[in-house]
Structure 1
Amino acid sequence: MILSCALLLTLAGATLIYLASAQQRLRAVPLHVAARWAGWTLVLAGTAGWWSTEGMGAGIAAALTTLMLAWVALPYAAWWRTSDEARP
């Protein structure tokens, strides 16, 4: 249960951080700066969850891996969404 919560918290935080970036392409306008702070708070909470269940080293590695996968997948999702809209 804690692992799934840690995963969801980390993914939600990574998504908020991405959507608050000026480089994001999923929304027409980036989210407010407060969303970035909320995202980092969720990432820290998720990292604490990973850390408490898996231990320090594995927990930090799992949190960083989750962040990496989310930040790689979100630009591809934006590209896929915009390529579908551009088709006639």
Structure 2
Amino acid sequence: MSNYRLLIHWLIVDSLLLLCFATFAFGANRLSDDEVQALQDIAVTLGKEGWNLSADPCSGDNNGWSTPADKYYANNVTCGNCTILDAANAN
């Protein structure tokens, strides 16, 4: 009976962990219009050109988000949730 209880306990714990990680992975949303506008305002203030804010930086396409000016100067924005989305195959 002890082994059966232990098995049930681990199944419950594993199910809860899986649910938490799945919820976290699918929690990454697209930016709202006001956040995109704020990024555009920041780009104008900083004199940034070539930012394609309608592009998805997690798509893997090079849309002006991660192209450095040269090898000594990083002029980019990177997606913080790309690995989570790729791991969950939620692109």
TM-score using structure 2 length: 0.31
TM-score using structure 1 length: 0.31
For the pair shown, which has the larger CA radius of gyration, 1 or 2?
2
- Say which structure, 1 or 2, has more relative contact order (CA 8 Å, 6+ apart): 1
